[in-house]
Every structure is written in C-alpha cells, then in structure tokens.
C-alpha cells in the first residue's frame, strides 16, 4: 500500500523580508524515513512547524495525513508525534511524570502502555529520575518516548541527535528504524551527513530552498555530475590552489588527512597527477572514490 | 477533555510542590504584607516627639503640658530654653512639634483673658502634621473648656451647660478609626492580584522559555483547557491566601468580618478572573519571565494607587477618577471593604459586582483568543 502522508506544494514562509522556506514541494509516502538535510537556518524547522500548523504558511499549500495544514491542524496533531529541537521536557518532573503528562494530554492513561514505551527507549530504570539530572542522550530518548506515547502514524523529528555522542546517535537511529518497521512514517531533520545516509530518501535544503530530494544513491549518481577523487599531496594548501586552477575541477576540499576533489568526468587521473607533479609537490597519490552525501551537498551549494 | 485538564492540573501541582521556595513565598508574602501594611501604613499618630519651650514656668503652664502628654499623641522629649534650641531639635528631626508657652500665660489665664500658646509643627510629612495639628487643637480646646468650666464652678455657676451648640459626631463601622480595618481588606485584594497575575504569567512564559509550549501546542489540548488547567492550582492557592489574610486580620488586628464569608470568597473568585486574565494577557505579550514581571508590575502600580487602596478615589483629580473606573481592583476594594466592615449583602454592592464580573469575563475572553495554538 503506497499512500502519501505528506504533500507540500510551493510551500513558502516569509518572516518580514526574510524567506525562511521558499516554494518547497515534496511528498512523503507511508512507511518512509525521509531525511531533511541542511545547515542551521536553512528552513528545516520552519517547514516542520508549518506541517504541524504551528506556523501559517505565507503561500503555498500542504496536506498532512490528508488534512489541510491551514484549516485542519488538530487531527494532524493528534495523529502525529513531534520531537522538537529543544527536547521539550519539564526539568522539575521525573521521567515517569513527564511521560505521564504527555500521555495524559492525549488521553492515554494505560500504565502498562506507558511502561512499555519506557522499555522501548530503554529507560525503565530511570523512571524516577528528575529530567534535569539526565544526560543529553537520555533526555533525547525520553523526548522520543513522549512523542510516540500516543502511537502516532507520523513522526516529525527535528534535529533529534544534535549534541548527542555518536554511540547514542546510533542507538537512537536503531529506535527510529524499529518504529518505521512497525509502520510509522518519519521525517527527520539533521545536519549530520552520515545520518542522512541512513534515510530512505534525503531532501537537501539550502537557504529555504529544497535543492533535491531522492535516495542517497540516486542523489550521488544524478546530482553529482562527475567523479570524486581522494588526493594526497604536500603541502596540502599549495595542492588545493593548484588543483582549483585545473579546468573541469568543481571543488577541492579537505577531508581528513587528504583532499577530496570533485571533477567533471573528462578530467582523468593522469591530468591530476601531472598538474601536481609539475607544481613540485611531494607524496602524490590520486585514487577514485565513491562520493558521499557531503559531496552532493557541497556541489549543490555551488550552483 | 477531563483527562487533558486533569493532566495539566496534576502537572502544575507537581511543579508547585517541587519548588518549595516559591511556594513558601506565596504563603509568607501575604502575612508579611499584612503586618507591614497593618502597622506601617498608618496615619494614626502616637507619641509624636514634642519639645516644650516654657517661658512662664508656672503651675498653670505645667498643667497645660501635662494635658498634652496625657493624650498619648505627644511625648515630651525635652524642655528647651531658647527658640534656637527648639528650631535645632525640629531641624534634626529629634522633635516633630514644639509647644511654646509665652511668659504671660498664667497671668492672662488668671486675669480671665484669652491666653495664647504657640504650637510649631514640622510639616515635612503632611499626613503626620495634619493629624498632629488637629489633635493639638482638640487637646487645647478641651483643656480650655475644662479651665472655663472650673472657673464657672468657682464663680458659682457650675452645672450650667453654657455651650450654645453641641455637635455630636458618630463614626460608624470603624468607630476608633483604626487604619488596620481599612488596610486589611485592601491587602486581601492586593495579595490576590499580585499572586495570581504574576504567577500565571510566569508559569506560561516559563513554558515558552523552555520550549515546552511548542510541544503542548501540537497536543490536542485546547487553549481554554490549558488556561483553565494552569489557573486551577493558583486559584486554590489564592483562596488559601485569602483565608490566611482574613484569619490573621481578624485574630491579630481585630478586623471585623461582618458580611457572609461565602460572599467574600465567591466575589474574590470573580476578582480572580480579572487578575488571572491580566496575567494571561501579560504572558501572551511577554517572551521572558522578566518581561512578564515588568508588564504585570506596570499594571500593578497604578492599580494599587488608583484603586483606593491607600488614597480615597473621591479626593483624586477628575481625570484619575475616570481612569480608576478601568481598574478592576477598584471594584474589588470597595466590595471587600463593604463586605467585611459594613456587612452588607449583595444588593448594596451589585453595581461593583456587575462591573467586576464584566471585566473578568472580558479579560479572560481576550486572553483566550490571544492564546492561540500557533507560534507566529
């Protein structure tokens, strides 16, 4: 069953002169995990807020779970879960009281279900701890528990892993996968490139515009018109300025201890090696590599 | 709906309980205000420091000084021997009033002439000065009358009531004109106002500061459920405060509670709608707790001064009197004073009650409308 749960059409939000979201159109199907990738301030949060009826769009339309976001936000809110960037928890309430409160406002009172929700995020033992005493990773999981306690069909996660260590991030994504396996649909914003790779489809936002939305593989294949190379040469800064002069090279950047070059397909390995050699650089090594989403993102940002 | 409301109320109660310092302040502040204002904000004068410059130094002049110090209003702190000395005492604030007895006082008195005495008052605090002045005159007149009566008795004309006009004054409801009687009911109004408006404004703005309001908006909570759920715990606290102030007011200050307690609490409830409404409105404007405090304070100050809490509205300039009609505390002040001191029933205060209720409804409706489930 393929059913569209989110559909936006030229969705736009302006704050005065500033256009936070600029004519964004996309669709999300039931059971998908869609990543929304972009730097801070690119319009990810504003998009989610519009989809939940927290902000009114300046123009454009959107439907979520079949309801119009302008006229009918309440049923959307009832059937959606939302985890905001700030992990909206009450610091002076315990883990259990936080969950009980958010469950209560959705009229969920079954204690067994609350316990099961805590188990699912692995926080049964922390039930009596005060929210303010929790480390960020636990706060994040409690916020997720609060967002899913009413068993929503659709989950909006706004930068759920910011400020969380890599291990906790991994655990968190496993949880999201579990939920999606059970039939939930998730829209997750992030500015971590590696996280975006976990998503079935990724939308790339920049300055309010949705530049592309597709599977990571297709983005790498279609958006990136060229080849990625790992290049080693010393000194690195000289190498960058030399490589940037080569016709057909789109982008040269540092990537760990080596350089990463995106160049048109016509630029061959021998050309790159030749250029570096004639510039008198040492330790030259050039090898083709598979591009990452970061390469896609950066090359989109160049246009 | 009931479930959602219950969840909010329970959450608010837990939060109140977890913050014992604020809870303590809520309980203690009214008591503090009561004692401070019950004692300090008084126009009664007692033991005003008096310096005496007696040039006559006779039996008669000593008995005049005695008459002044007997009345408890004045306390003789020093006998001075020059006008300069008197002036210095008053300048330094050691004495507030000075009694000047001229050298020919006893001579004039015994010669049957009108004896004059001087009374100097430090007018820098007009309210004390006015009371001191009138007390000084009263004491002087009474003393003069007693001398005259004594003299008439001596001349064999005793027992004749020669005063052509006798004005009999009668003070109702507060016969001893105790300021506490006037203050305590007013304090009930002030406490209810500050507590509910500040605390509600803060508790909502806090949700905004922490970002929990965004989460609440995406839940099925309706605005009025949120408003009501947040109000209920604070209304209960406010009623506890009312009881507290009334109890101490009547047991300690002896303020009478002549009207029905049911009416007192019921109409306090009506008044709470207005202060909660003000708190809610402030929370829809403010984005930080400090801002909310400032807004409430901005309304609080004119409310206190224009409500008749300290100063009679009738004595204010016309413009201020008109403005005072826009202050809900004004109606509550006159309602609560009438209920406690005069013991009136609903008919006597129905205009004030109606206006207060209209204000309350209006404020709550405006606040609920402004309290939309959106962020922009």
CATH code of the domain in which A72 resides: 3.40.50.300
φ and ψ of A260, to 5 deg: -120, 125
**Inter-chain touch B212–A49, beta carbons under 8 Å:** no
Helix axes A236-244, A269-278, angle to 10 degrees: 120
Query: Which one of B6, B210, B214 has the shortest CB-CB distance to A104?
Result: B6
Nearest CA in chain A to B3: A107
Q: Which of A105, A109, A150, A157 is the best residue to mutate to test the B interface, defined by the most B CB atoms within 10 Å of its own CB?
A: A105
Q: Which of A37, A10, A44, A3 is nearest to A25 (CA)?
A: A10
Please indicate if any CB of chain A lies within 8 Å of the CB of B220. Answer: yes
Query: What is the tally of structural domains in chain A?
Result: 2
Query: Which one of A55, A101, A106 has the shortest CB-CB distance to B375?
Result: A55
**Cβ-Cβ contacts under 8 Å, B221 against chain A:** 105
Give CA–CA dist B360/B357, Å, rounded: 5
Q: Note the pLDDT of residue B164.
A: 43
Helix axes B261-285, B223-251, angle to 10 degrees: 130
B158-171: per-residue pLDDT in tens?
554 444 444 454 55
Note whether A50 and A192 are same-domain residues.
Answer: yes
Strands in A67-68's sheet, in edge-to-edge order, are A18-29, A4-15, A59-64, A67-68
SS (H, E, C) A187-226: EEEECCHHHHHCCCEEEEEECCEEEEEECHHHHHHHHCCC
**Inter-chain touch B10–A80, beta carbons under 8 Å:** no
pLDDT tier at A303, thresholds 50, 70, 90: low
| Mean pLDDT, chain A, integer | 89
Q: Note the pLDDT of residue B42.
A: 59
Give CA–CA dist A290/A278, Å, rounded: 27
Domain end call among A214, A237, A260:
A214
Residues near B138 by beta carbon (within 8 Å), at least 6 away in sequence? none
Please indicate if any CB of chain A lies within 8 Å of the CB of B346. Answer: no
Residues near B252 by beta carbon (within 8 Å), at least 6 away in sequence? B38
* Spans of all domains in chain B: 28-41+178-370, 48-154
**Inter-chain touch B374–A91, beta carbons under 8 Å:** no
Query: Which one of A86, A102, A105 has the shortest CB-CB distance to B211?
Result: A86
Note whether A274 and A196 are same-domain residues.
Answer: no
Whole-prediction pTM: 0.76
Give CA–CA dist A133/A222, Å, rounded: 47
H or E element at residue B141 = helix B126-154
Q: Which of B219, B221, B374 is the best residue to mutate to test the A interface, defined by the most A CB atoms within 10 Å of its own CB?
A: B219
Note whether A283 and A140 are same-domain residues.
Answer: no
Nearest CA in chain A to B2: A107
pLDDT tier at A155, thresholds 50, 70, 90: very high
Torsion of CA A46, A50, A52, A55, to 10 degrees: 90
Note whether A111 and A252 are same-domain residues.
Answer: no
Q: Which of B2, B7, B22 is the best residue to mutate to test the A interface, defined by the most A CB atoms within 10 Å of its own CB?
A: B7
Rg (CA), chain A: 23
Note whether A151 and A275 are same-domain residues.
Answer: no
Q: Which two tokens stand for residue B44?
A: 């009664």
**Cβ-Cβ contacts under 8 Å, B10 against chain A:** 101, 104
**Cβ-Cβ contacts under 8 Å, B8 against chain A:** 101, 105
Note whether A13 and A61 are same-domain residues.
Answer: yes
Note whether A246 and A166 are same-domain residues.
Answer: no
Strands in A249-255's sheet, in edge-to-edge order, are A249-255, A258-263, A227-234, A282-289
Q: Note the pLDDT of residue B176.
A: 56
A66-83: per-residue pLDDT in tens?
999 999 999 999 999 999
Q: Is the pLDDT of residue A104 over 60?
A: yes
Lowest pLDDT segment from A120-129, A235-244, B35-44: B35-44
B164 or A141, which is more confident? A141
Nearest CA in chain B to A78: B220
**Cβ-Cβ contacts under 8 Å, B373 against chain A:** 53-54, 73
Q: Which of B270, B279, B283 is nearest to B371 (CA)?
A: B283
Note whether A133 and A51 are same-domain residues.
Answer: yes
Q: Which of B12, B20, B202, B212 is the best residue to mutate to test the A interface, defined by the most A CB atoms within 10 Å of its own CB?
A: B212
Please indicate if any CB of chain A lies within 8 Å of the CB of B17. Answer: no
SS3 A188: strand
DSSP-assigned states of every residue in B202-261: HHHHHHHHHTHHHHHHTSS--HHHHHHHHHHHHHHHHHHHHHHHHHHHHHTS-----S-H
Strands B48-54, A282-289: pairing kind: unpaired
CB B214 within 8 A of CB A84: yes
Q: Note the pLDDT of residue B96.
A: 84
Determine the topology of domain B48-154 in CATH: abc type-2 transporter like fold (3.40.1710)
Please indicate if any CB of chain A lies within 8 Å of the CB of B22. Answer: no
Note whether A116 and A233 are same-domain residues.
Answer: no
Q: Note the pLDDT of residue B119.
A: 83
Note whether A153 and A275 are same-domain residues.
Answer: no
| pLDDT beneath 50, residues of chain B | 160-167, 169
Strands A209-214, A258-263: pairing kind: unpaired
Lowest pLDDT segment from A103-112, A227-236, B48-57, B151-160: B151-160
DSSP-assigned states of every residue in A226-278: SEEEEEEEESHHHHHHHHHTSTTEEEEEEETTEEEEEE-TT--HHHHHHHHHH
Helix axes B328-337, B179-210, angle to 10 degrees: 140
Q: Which of B194, B191, B371 is nearest to B283 (CA)?
A: B371
**How many Cβ atoms sit within 10 Å of the Cβ of residue B284?**
18
Q: Is the pLDDT of residue A197 over 70?
A: yes
A133 or B169, which is more confident? A133
Please indicate if any CB of chain A lies within 8 Å of the CB of B210. Answer: yes
**Cβ-Cβ contacts under 8 Å, A101 against chain B:** 7-8, 10-11
Helix axes B2-18, B223-251, angle to 10 degrees: 50
H or E element at residue A182 = none
Note whether A92 and A37 are same-domain residues.
Answer: yes
What residue has token string 């009694």? B99
**Cβ-Cβ contacts under 8 Å, B11 against chain A:** 90, 93, 97, 101
Note whether A194 and A82 are same-domain residues.
Answer: yes
**Cβ-Cβ contacts under 8 Å, B212 against chain A:** 88-90
CB B172 within 8 A of CB B263: no
Q: How far is CA A235 from the centre of its chain?
A: 35
CB A156 within 8 A of CB A46: no
CB A238 within 8 A of CB A231: no
Range of the domain at A158: 4-214
Does A235 sit behind a cis peptide bond, omega within 30 degrees of 0 on the bond before it? Answer: yes
């Amino acid at each position: 069953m393929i059913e569209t749960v989110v559909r936006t059409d030229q969705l736009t939000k302006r704050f005065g002169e500033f256009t936070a979201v600029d004519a964004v159109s996309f669709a999300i199907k039931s059971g998908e995990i869609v990543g929304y990738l972009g730097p801070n301030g690119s319009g990810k949060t504003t998009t989610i807020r519009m989809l939940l009826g927290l902000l009114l769009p300046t123009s454009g339309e959107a439907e979520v779970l079949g309801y119009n976001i302008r006229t009918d936000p309440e049923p959307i809110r009832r059937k959606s879960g939302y985890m905001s960037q700030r992990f909206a928890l009450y610091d002076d309430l315990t883990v259990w009281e936080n969950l009980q409160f958010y469950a209560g406002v959705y009229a969920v009172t079954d204690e067994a279900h609350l316990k099961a929700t805590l188990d699912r995020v692995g926080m049964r033992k922390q039930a009596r701890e005060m929210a303010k005493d929790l480390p960020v990773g636990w706060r994040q999981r409690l916020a997720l528990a609060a967002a899913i306690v009413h068993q929503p069909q659709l989950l909006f996660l706004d930068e759920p892993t910011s400020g969380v260590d890599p291990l906790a991030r991994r655990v968190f994504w496993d949880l999201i996968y579990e939920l999606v396996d059970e039939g939930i649909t998730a829209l997750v914003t992030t500015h971590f490139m590696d996280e975006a790779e976990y998503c079935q489809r990724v939308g790339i936002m920049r300055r309010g515009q949705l530049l592309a939305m597709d599977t990571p593989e297709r983005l790498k294949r279609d958006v990136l018109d060229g080849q990625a190379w790992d290049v080693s040469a010393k000194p690195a800064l000289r190498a960058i300025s030399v490589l940037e002069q080569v016709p057909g090279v789109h982008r040269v950047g540092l990537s760990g201890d080596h350089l990463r070059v995106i160049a048109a397909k016509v630029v061959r390995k021998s050309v790159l090696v030749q250029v570096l050699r004639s510039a008198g650089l040492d330790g030259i090594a050039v090898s083709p590599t598979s591009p990452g989403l970061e390469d896609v993102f950066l090359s989109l940002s160049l246009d | 709906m009931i479930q959602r409301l219950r969840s909010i109320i329970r959450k608010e109660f837990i939060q109140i309980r977890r913050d014992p310092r604020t809870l303590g302040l809520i309980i203690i502040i009214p008591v503090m205000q009561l004692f401070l204002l019950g004692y300090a904000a008084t126009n009664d004068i007692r033991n005003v420091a008096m310096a005496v410059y007696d040039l006559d130094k006779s039996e008669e002049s000593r008995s005049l000084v005695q008459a002044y110090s007997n009345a408890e209003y004045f306390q003789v702190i020093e006998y001075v021997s020059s006008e300069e000395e008197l002036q210095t005492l008053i300048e330094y604030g050691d004495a507030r009033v000075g009694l000047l007895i001229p050298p020919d006082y006893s001579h004039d008195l015994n010669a049957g002439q009108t004896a004059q005495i001087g009374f100097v008052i430090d007018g820098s605090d007009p309210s004390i000065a006015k009371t001191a002045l009138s007390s000084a005159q009263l004491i002087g007149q009474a003393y003069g009358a007693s001398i005259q009566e004594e003299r008439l008795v001596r001349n064999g004309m005793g027992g004749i009531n020669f005063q052509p006009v006798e004005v009999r004054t009668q003070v109702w409801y507060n016969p001893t004109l105790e300021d506490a009687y006037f203050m305590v009911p007013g304090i009930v109004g002030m406490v209810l106002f500050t507590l509910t408006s500040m605390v509600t404004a803060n508790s909502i703005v806090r949700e905004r500061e922490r970002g929990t309001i965004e989460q609440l908006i995406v839940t099925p909570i309706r605005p009025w459920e949120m408003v009501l759920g947040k109000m209920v715990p604070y209304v209960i606290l406010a009623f506890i405060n009312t009881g507290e102030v009334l109890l101490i007011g009547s047991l300690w200050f002896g303020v009478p509670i002549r009207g029905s307690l049911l009416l007192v609490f019921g109409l306090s409830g009506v008044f709470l709608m207005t202060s909660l409404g003000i708190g809610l409105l402030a929370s829809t404007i403010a984005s930080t707790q400090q801002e909310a405090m400032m807004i409430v304070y901005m309304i609080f100050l004119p409310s206190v001064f224009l409500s008749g809490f300290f100063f009679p509205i009738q004595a204010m300039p016309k413009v201020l009197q008109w403005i005072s009609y826009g202050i809900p505390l004004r109606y509550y002040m006159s309602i609560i004073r009438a209920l406690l001191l005069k013991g009136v029933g609903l008919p006597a205060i129905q205009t004030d009650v109606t206006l207060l209720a209209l204000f309350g409804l209006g404020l709550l409706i405006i606040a609920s409308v402004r309290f939309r489930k959106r962020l922009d």
